[in-house]
Amino acid sequence: MEAIRVFGRKAPTKEVAKSRLKLVLVQDRLNCSNTMMENLRRDILEVISRYMEFDVDDMDIQVTNARVSADGEGTPVLIANIPVRGMRKVQ
């Protein structure tokens, strides 16, 4: 999917739908509402902004399943892809 973004083509509708369904299933499993995800995103950005300058438009924060066993059970994982422009001076 990253290769598609790099070359400027849109992801196929099927892949977008599949990705969204996975996100919904993980959020449901965690009992995590959209409001809670937005609050989490806001809080992460607030804390990181104290130490770093970053590009809000190109960032991606999501919860997904990481495969951990042969039986297909996954563990929810928070993934934050935040392009950092530079560090701030901390007093």
Pairing verdict, β 84-87 and 52-54: antiparallel
User: DSSP string of the chain?
Assistant: -HHHHHTTPPPPHHHHHHHHHHHHHHHHHHT--HHHHHHHHHHHHHHHHTTEEE-GGG-EEEEEEEE-STT--EEEEEEEE--EEEEPPP-
All structural domains of the chain with their residue ranges:
2-84
The pLDDT of residue 4 is 46
pLDDT in tens, the chain (91 residues): 444 444 555 667 887 777 777 766 666 767 777 788 888 888 988 999 999 998 888 888 887 777 666 666 777 788 889 899 999 887 6
